[in-house]
Amino acid sequence: MSAPVTEAESGRLSHRQIMTVLSGLMLGMLLAALDQTIMASAMKTIADQLNGQTIQAWATTAYLITATISTPLYGKLSDIFGRKPMYLTAISFFLGGSILSGISNSMYELAAFRAVQGLGAGGLMSLALAIIADMVPPRERSKYQGYFMAVWGLSSVAGPVVGGFFAGLNTFAGFAGWRWVFLLNVPIGIVALIVVARFLNVPHRKVAQRVDYWGAIALTVGLVPLLIVAEQGREWGWDSGRSVLMYVIGVVGLGAFLFVEKRMGDAALLPLRLFRGRTFALTNVVNFVMGVGMFGMMMSLPLYLQIVKGATPTESGLMTLPMTFGILVAATGSGQIISRTGRYRVFPIIGLAATTAALFLFGQIGVDTPVWQTMLVMVLAGAGLGLCMQTLILAIQNDVPVKDMGVATSSATFFRSIGGTVGTAVFLSILFSVVGGRISDAFSSARSDPAFLQALQANPQFAKGLSGGGGVDLNDTSFINHLDPTLARPILSGFASSLDTVFLVGGAVTLVAFALIWFLKEKPLSNKSGIQRAAEAAAEAGEVAPAAVAMH
């Protein structure tokens, strides 16, 4: 009979030890989350400086591709080789990509270096959640995951503010202001690297398993074309020859991926047996659908605030503080309740209901809607996201064997990211396919208004552009800020109406996720961490459990 597992061997960690490791993980997650939002307000300036305005989308696309594809790879490799070496690898890639991006001299260089950044970003978020799953029992995990939600919410506000600040500086500490959008990551990343290297000492039993290289290659062949067409399809044309070629290659690649995964069995990059688990399969479908609607909302709100309300990128970032407040309160509050009661199923149900309601309410906002009303809806939307995101990951982690914790956790991030990419592409296409007609209709209605006709006579250049059939150029909307308010109103009305359509479609999509989440069955939350479960499994198998390394 095996000797009982001692507390030291079981890897039970104190709150202080967990918080020490958590500080490094939060810095790593801040890097990934901030990088997704900081670029939005700085990209125009960066593209102007690098003389690459027409190809700027590739800097985002390259990052998105490598981050999405590397996410499941990090999860699987961390199950085999351990979380610490893979997390340090992710931070190192991100740091290297940040330094290179900060010294890039062309848009093509920036796109290549952003791809290196993406290789790191793919592991920063998913591995942080997997490491917490190793250290903390599911019953207590929501309390700690709430900190991650706080970082994610903070970055959504701080990103546009910080990006706008540095983009507006000519130079800072001897470098062009925009370069600090990337160089700012360096001190944060170094601190994260030191903390994780010093304090993340948890036991890991190396798994003797092949690495699914062919699965990784097939997934790359499948996803890269589809992600490219998602980003570029609106410009190319969704039914153009290039787009169709991307569809074909992507479908063939995904087919090859499924074939390889079936052949690889447990060694697969994303083991297909996990999808036989109802909770795993259902929750990832919900993650994907929620990602579509959530990213549609996150993309549309800044456009409404900046175009319709005339806010700067920095101001629009600050205006979304109520959403961050909603995320923080809901995530921390639900985490405390889950820890006390062990019940979690009700929270994603309420969360998706709140998110759906918020999107439908956003679908009613217009040019004259007071900002405070929109901000109240943001609180509701933030609360919905705060109740959903961590709870869905918790449900997945609680349902899978400890040996699959990394790949299962990364799957949640992976499917939500894919949903976000699809949502952004679809909603931008909807917006720009209807906005031209809505603006034309608004101008037609305004021609019966004497004040509009008088303003038109006072601006002959603008009137000439309208009468010539050229309409207005929507590639650069900054001219609206200098236009007579009477003439600008039809443009603003057209944009507001089009964004309402986007929000309503997003609400319909999220409603599907709300209907699906009712099929989630609640499984009692374990009181044992991943380390403890692994130690017990090793003891039962008559193996020597890896001893926990002393943590300082």
Per residue in 216-227, pLDDT (tens digit) is: 889 889 888 888
Range of lowest pLDDT (29-33, 222-226, 451-455, 469-473): 469-473
Per residue in 234-266, pLDDT (tens digit) is: 778 888 888 899 999 999 999 999 999 888 888
- Count of alpha carbons within 13 angstroms of residue 166, beta-carbon side: 26
Question: Is the Cβ–Cβ distance between 104 and 47 less than 8 Å?
Answer: no
* Terminal alpha carbon distance of the chain: 33
pLDDT of res. 28: 85
Judged against a pLDDT cut of 90, whether residue 381 lies above it is answered with yes
Say if CB 278 and CB 517 are below 8 A apart. no
| Backbone φ, ψ for residue 264 (5° rounding) | -80, -20
Reported as type and span, the H/E element at residue 380 is helix 371-399
DSSP structure string for 412-472: HHHHHHHHHHHHHHHHHHHHHHHHHHHHHHHHHHHTT-HHHHHHHHH-HHHHHHHHTT---
Query: Under a CB-based contact definition with an 8 Å cutoff, are residues 339 and 487 in contact?
Result: no
Q: Which helix (H) or strand (E) holds 383?
A: helix 371-399
Q: How many CA atoms within 13 Å lie on the side-chain side of 401?
A: 10
Q: How many CA atoms, within 13 angstroms, populate the side-chain half-sphere of residue 4?
A: 2
Q: pLDDT higher for 537 or 424?
A: 424
Among the residues of 468-545, which ranges form H helices?
Answer: 485-517, 530-540
Inter-residue contact 200 to 87 (CB < 8 Å): yes
The pLDDT value recorded for residue 1 is 38
Per-residue pLDDT reduced to its tens digit, 133-158: 888 888 787 777 777 777 877 777 77
CA distance 286 to 44: 34
444-455 per-position pLDDT tens digit: 787 777 877 777
Residue 477 pLDDT > 80 = no
Query: How many CB atoms are closer than 10 A to CB 207?
Result: 12
Instruction: Tell me the mean pLDDT in the region 196-201.
Output: 83
Instruction: Give the residue-averaged pLDDT of 6-18.
Output: 60
pLDDT grade, residue 375 (50/70/90)?
very high
- To the nearest 10 degrees (0 to 180), the angle between helices 346-362 and 485-517 is 160
pLDDT confidence bin for 3, thresholds 50/70/90: very low
Task: Tell me what the mean pLDDT of segment 48-72 comes to.
Answer: 78
Better pLDDT: 119 or 317: 119
Residue 535 clears pLDDT 70, i.e. is over it: no
pLDDT > 90? residue 272:
no
Least confident of 170-179, 378-387, 464-473, 511-520: 464-473
The HSE-up count of residue 284 (CA atoms within 13 Å, CB side) is: 22
Average pLDDT rounded to a whole number, residues 459-478: 62
What are the structure tokens assigned to 47, written together? 């593209």
Query: Distance between CA atoms of 485 and 19, rounded to whole angstroms?
Result: 53
Residue 467: its pLDDT value, please? 60
Single-letter amino acid, residue 118: G
What pLDDT score was predicted for residue 108? 87
**485 vs 145, 462, 488, CA distance in Å?**
46, 13, 5
Cα separation of 152 and 171, whole Å? Answer: 29
Q: Output the average pLDDT for the chain.
A: 81
For residue 217 the two structure tokens come to 């290659």
Can you tell me which residue has the tokens 């309740």? 337
pLDDT(544) > 60 = no
User: With bands split at pLDDT 50, 70 and 90, how would you rate the model's confidence at 551?
Assistant: very low
3 state DSSP class of 175: strand
In 57-205, the DSSP E strands lie at: 171-172, 175-176
